Structure 1
Amino acid sequence: MVKTRTSRMKIGIISDTHDDILNTNKAIDIFSQNNVSIVIHVGDFVAPPVVTEFKRLSKDGVKIIGVLGNNDGEEQGLKEEFEGINGELFKEIGKIKIDNLKFGIYHGTDAKKRQKMIDSKKFDVCIFGHTHQKENYVDEKTVIVLNPGTAHYPVKMNYTHDRYFGESTIMIFDTNDKTCLIYDL
């Protein structure tokens, strides 16, 4: 388990970039303007060049952490890009500790596995992606559940659900007061 400790930390949360370099850079700008210390990418980068864009943050000391999503077929290339930015890439599930909060990170492909993580009481904060729908709630067991939605630009679909690539959003979570702000891209 990765451990990071400071008195107050802002964590940028992004998911489902699906090769959208333009919106990825908009997100990086927002993270930079808000002085995040860590960025967590919850998977579906798709191709390695998306990861390289985060070098703007990592060269300024921001830790980049990610997990693989169901559309991340170039696992070796993604791993190499994470190494190139001094980031940390977990396979399916990441477990980290920041400011005495235990984080479980999973792309969220399997809804039962997702719920099992929430119900396990092993984590203070569970972060998911995959659904492209933002979520920010505390379950009955006081686990904070976050899903930043998709960072991919909105797309009008002809035959697929209209909201598949609907709103483009990211989040910033504050470990001090446990609040989460949602930002539109």
Structure 2
Amino acid sequence: MKIGIMADSHDNLPKIRAAMELFEREGVGLILHAGDFVAPFAVRAMHDAPCRVVAVFGNNDGERIGLSRAFEPIGEVHPRIAVVEADGKRVGVVHQDELVAPIAAGNALDMLVYGHTHRLDIRREGQVLVVNPGEVGGWLTGKCTVVILDTQTMEPRVWEV
């Protein structure tokens, strides 16, 4: 299975839509969003997602009731951490970077996705593949990136949208 990984979209509707188009074109079977969508209308831009979306709230996601309702047709959003199983792999999703080290240290996951920093980061902590896809919004770095990971090879590929 291919997993589409994104974070920090910060209401950038054209880039959110471009990510959904890329994920559909590449045959993604699950989308993970590591938070900071910001407004419910940004989540509605993901309603064309080709598959289920699992997400966590970020520090800029203030309208949680509206965001939760916007997620209902496409998947689910969690307050702090989400854990899903995809093709036999256990994958965690958080927003804040300070959660990465303690969670990864437990070696209970195959992959841990995070956001918040807006910086692309792909590395191993022990047995855990750690992925920050950078930012879809592009507001801080000027680069709008997502990652697609194939669960068979556990090889992540970075895409600009």
Q: Which consecutive aligned stretches of 4+ in structure 1 deviate over 4 angstroms post-superposition?
A: none
Counterparts of residues 1-185 of structure 1 (less than 5 Å): 9-57=1-49, 60=50, 62-83=51-72, 85-109=73-97, 111=98, 113-139=99-125, 141-153=126-138, 155=139, 164-185=140-161
Q: Secondary structure at the match of 1:55?
A: coil
C-alpha separation in 1, matches of 2:64 and 2:25? 30
C-alpha separation in 1, matches of 2:121 and 2:149? 13
Flag the structure with larger Rg. Answer: 1
Q: Secondary structure at the match of 1:70?
A: coil
Q: TM-score, normalised by structure 2?
A: 0.95
Q: Secondary structure at the match of 1:43?
A: coil
C-alpha separation in 2, matches of 1:167 and 1:53? 19
Which amino acid is 2:106 matched to? S
Q: Which moved more, 1:67-76 or 1:91-100?
A: 91-100
Fraction of identical pairs, as percent = 32
Which amino acid is 2:57 matched to? L
CA-CA distance at 1:86 after TM superposition:
3.5
C-alpha separation in 2, matches of 1:117 and 1:149? 20
CA-CA distance at 1:53 after TM superposition:
1.5
CA deviation map 1:92-119 (0-9, x unaligned): 110111111111110025x2x2210111
Q: TM-score, normalised by structure 1?
A: 0.83
C-alpha separation in 2, matches of 1:150 and 1:72? 15
Question: RMSD of aligned C-alpha atoms?
Answer: 1.2
CA-CA distance at 1:166 after TM superposition:
3.1
Which runs of 5 or more structure 2 residues have no equivalent in the other structure? none
Q: Secondary structure at the match of 1:77?
A: helix
CA-CA distance at 1:167 after TM superposition:
1.6
